[in-house]
Structures are given as C-alpha cells and as structure tokens.
Amino acid sequence: MSDASTDETTRPTVAVTGAAGYIGSRVVTRLREVHPGWEVRAFDNFYKDGLRTLDDHPVTHLDVRDRSRLETALDGADVVLHLAAVSGVDDCDENDDLAYETNVVGTNHVAWFCRRSGAGLVFPYSMAVIGNPESFPITVDAKREPLNWYGRTKLLGEQAIETLADGAFPAHLYMKSNLYGDHVVDGRRVSKGTVINFFVERALAGEPLTVYEPGSQSRNYVHVKDIAETYVLSCERLLDQIADGETGTRKYELASDEEFSVLTVAELVRDVADEELDEAPEVTLVENPRAGETMVEQFSVDTSKARTELGWEPTHTIESTVRDLLREGRR
C-alpha cells in the first residue's frame, strides 16, 4: 500500500504503545518518514521516562493496564504495534507484579482489542522465551523453556495472541535477538544499557569492561535501527493481510549473522577503543549475579523467513557501530 493511493478517509492509522522507549521512538520516527500520509498515534506511560515528543509528534500518556482508556485510545487503529513492556531480566525480577500486569495483562488487553476490531498486531516477545536452546540455528519453533520471569511473561503474551488472533485478526510475532546501537530524535541520543552499549560507555569513561563469568556465553546481536525497519515492513504486510481477510499469527526470527561470546564482544570493544581512543580498557571477568541467564556457547539464528516474507535485511555491524559510538562519544 502506498501513500499515493490514500486520502484523508482511507489512510491507515497505526498505533504504537511504548512509543517513548528505545525501540518505539525509532519506530514512530521511521513510520512517519516512510509513510508521511499515515496517521501515527504514539502512546507511553513513561515508566522509564522517555521522550514526550518525537520530531514534534506528541507522545500521549497511556497505560496498557487500563483497558478502558486503552480501547478508547486505540479506537480506529488499523494496526497496533505493541512495544509497551517491562523489559529485561533484572527489571522484571525486581518488579514482578508490574511485569505481570504490563507484559501479560496489558498484552491481553491489546490482543482483545484487536480481536474485537480486526486490527493487525505486531508483538515482540524476545528469545528469552526459549531459555537454553537445544538445537541450532534457532527458529520460532524452538522449545519454550524460559529461565526467568521476563521470559515467562513474554511467553504468556505470545500464547495469548496466538489464541485470540485465530479467526479474528492477523498478527506478526517477533522473536528478536539482543539489541545494540542508538539513534537520534529531536537532537537527543536515544540508547539503552544493553551489553554492547554498556561496554562502549565503560570504554568512554576509561573504566574496565566487566564480563559476567564465564564469558563464553554466546548471544546474537542486532541493531535497534534494523529492528525498527521490521515494524514498518510488518505494517505494510499486515494492511495487505487485512484487505485479504487473513487472520492468525506469523512468527519471525529477528537477528543478524553476528553471534559472539560476551567475552569476545568485550575484547572487540577494547581493541576498537585502543584504535579510536588510544586507550585499551581492561577486560575483567566478574561473578555472574543472574541465576536465570541463558548459558550456551553458540547462538546462530535462522532469519530466512523474515528476509523472504517481509523483505527484511539487517545492515549494521557490531564493529562499525562500536567505532561510530566511540567517535561520537569522544567529541
């Protein structure tokens, strides 16, 4: 669907929950860049603060736990991008009630709205739902055995959407890898303390790069801008599916081809920092405080479905991004 074929009465309306966050702010910005004729509604409860405007586009306060206000806010939406969540292992452990109410109850509220209205839905549920993968490459069909509360809440969200979408609305579910990188909105750098970003910040501060033991645990990493592109692609595809009367869920693995141990990533940041800052920070192993962490030494992911069905292609690399972040931070 192109903007040229829409007018004020037929243009799509896309609602984004969690719009003030790390991913959401990029998604709203890209949607408005790629499809300026669409109506984009941005919502957030500002749990982690976040931006109140995105390039002069307002972000409206909304808590997905409040079903009545949620349904009023989403009324008329053709597609809902549901990014609102309590994310991360530590945050969910420390705020387990809030994580349940937001990630499970709130997600059920959004999915129920879509069931009643027929709106398309996009929902990211993280590879934390798997726990320790048993086979590689990882696919969306992998056995679900989450090791922590974050993964369990996301699994319950996944299951609810599968149940409610059947025969009622189309949904795209993302099993996404570990994010890194940043982006800029209104001249403000938007980032998050993910592992690669954490290492870069430590290097810029001249502090040791602390790696949880044993360091050999592998992860797959994907840039926040690459992830945001999938939301735009999913919106376009979901509008076509709605027009064709399709319902049910389609699941996609979102990852890059870069899978490294955490220790290897720290060493890469150290080496690039040595080149860019003329100072190589020390890499130090420390005791791992996380009992519910995935501990595998490989993490390859099959992303062929997202590439084939959505036309998605990750374009960023860890080394080039680390180099850019260090150069920007040095200024």
Give the residue carrying structure tokens 């398309």: 120
CA gap 322, 324 in Å, rounded: 5
Element (DSSP H or E) covering residue 271: helix 262-277
Indicate whether 16 and 51 sit together in one domain.
Answer: yes
Residue 290 lies in a domain: yes
Domain range for 263: 183-219+257-299+315-330
Domain tally, the chain: 2
Apex 45 CA angle, 39 and 50, nearest 5: 85
Indicate whether 79 and 111 sit together in one domain.
Answer: yes
Phi first, then psi, for residue 114 (nearest 5°) are -65, -35
Cβ-count burial of 98 within 10 angstroms (0-12 exposed, 13-18 middle, 19+ buried)? middle
Report the amino acid identity of residue 258: E
Indicate whether 195 and 50 sit together in one domain.
Answer: no
Q: What pLDDT digit, counting tens, does each position of 97-108 carry?
A: 999 999 999 999
Residue 82 lies in a domain: yes
Q: Is 211 helix (H, G, I), strand (E, B) or coil?
A: strand
Indicate whether 170 and 158 sit together in one domain.
Answer: yes
Residue 1 lies in a domain: no
Indicate whether 138 and 210 sit together in one domain.
Answer: no
Give how far Cα 54 sits from Cα of 31, 48, 293, Å.
11, 16, 34
As a whole number, mean pLDDT of residues 309-314 equals 98
Indicate whether 105 and 242 sit together in one domain.
Answer: yes
Calculate the average pLDDT of the chain: 95
Question: How high is the pLDDT of residue 25?
Answer: 97
Residue 159 lies in a domain: yes
Residue 3 lies in a domain: no
Residue 141 has pLDDT above 70, yes or no: yes
Indicate whether 55 and 84 sit together in one domain.
Answer: yes
Residues 6+ apart with CB under 8 A from 46: 20, 52, 61
Residue 304 lies in a domain: no
Whole-model pTM? 0.95
Residue 272 lies in a domain: yes
Indicate whether 172 and 145 sit together in one domain.
Answer: yes
Indicate whether 112 and 41 sit together in one domain.
Answer: yes
The encoded tokens of residue 68 equal 């009545």
Indicate whether 37 and 172 sit together in one domain.
Answer: yes
Contact 197, 191 (CB under 8 A): yes
Report the amino acid identity of residue 183: H
Of 64, 140, 69, nearest in space to 107 by CA: 64
Indicate whether 88 and 202 sit together in one domain.
Answer: no
Q: What pLDDT digit, counting tens, does each position of 183-193 carry?
A: 999 889 999 99
CATH number, residue 265? 3.90.25.10
Indicate whether 84 and 120 sit together in one domain.
Answer: yes
Residue 157 lies in a domain: yes
- 244: how many CB neighbours lie within 10 A of its CB? 8
The encoded tokens of residue 101 equal 């109410």
Q: What pLDDT digit, counting tens, does each position of 244-289 carry?
A: 999 999 999 999 999 999 999 999 999 999 999 999 999 999 999 8
